[in-house]
Amino acid sequence: MELVETLIEDARWDGLGLARLAERAARAALAGVGLSGEGFAIGLMGCDDARIAVLNADFRGKPQPTNVLSWPSEERGAEFAGEAPDLPEPGAADDPESLGDIAIAWETCAAEAEAQGKPMGEHVTHLIVHGVLHLLGYDHIEDEDAALMEGLEVRILASLGVSDPY
**Domain containing residue 49: CATH number:** 3.40.390.30
Q: Is the pLDDT of residue 98 over 90?
A: yes
Q: Is the pLDDT of residue 109 over 90?
A: yes
For residue 59, tell me if it sits in a domain. yes
Residue 130 assigned ligand-binding role: yes
Residue 140 assigned ligand-binding role: yes
Residue 64: strand, helix, or coil: coil
Q: Is the pLDDT of residue 69 over 90?
A: yes
Mean of pLDDT values over 47-72:
96
For residue 63, tell me if it sits in a domain. yes
Integer Cα distance of 73 and 93 in angstroms: 18
- pLDDT tens readout for residues 111-166: 999 999 999 999 999 999 999 999 999 998 888 988 999 999 999 999 999 999 88
For residue 33, tell me if it sits in a domain. yes
> What is the band of 62 on the pLDDT scale with cuts at 50, 70, 90?
very high
Q: Is the pLDDT of residue 1 over 80?
A: no
Instruction: Name residue 76's amino acid.
Output: R
Query: Are the beta carbons of 132 and 26 closer than 8 angstroms?
Result: yes
Predicted pLDDT of residue 77? 84
For residue 166, tell me if it sits in a domain. no
Mean of pLDDT values over 24-44:
96
Residue 13 lies in domain:
4-159
* Domain tally, the chain: 1
Across the chain, mean pLDDT equals: 95
Predicted pLDDT of residue 128? 98
Residue 104: strand, helix, or coil: strand
Candidates 54, 53, 27; CA nearest to 125 is 27
Q: Is the pLDDT of residue 94 over 80?
A: yes
Percentage with pLDDT > 70 across the chain: 100
Predicted pLDDT of residue 78? 83
Instruction: Name residue 140's amino acid.
Output: H
Predicted pLDDT of residue 112? 97
Instruction: Name residue 66's amino acid.
Output: T
- Helices marked H in the chain — which ranges? 12-16, 18-32, 49-60, 106-116, 120-135, 143-159
Candidates 50, 28, 5, 2; CA nearest to 122 is 28
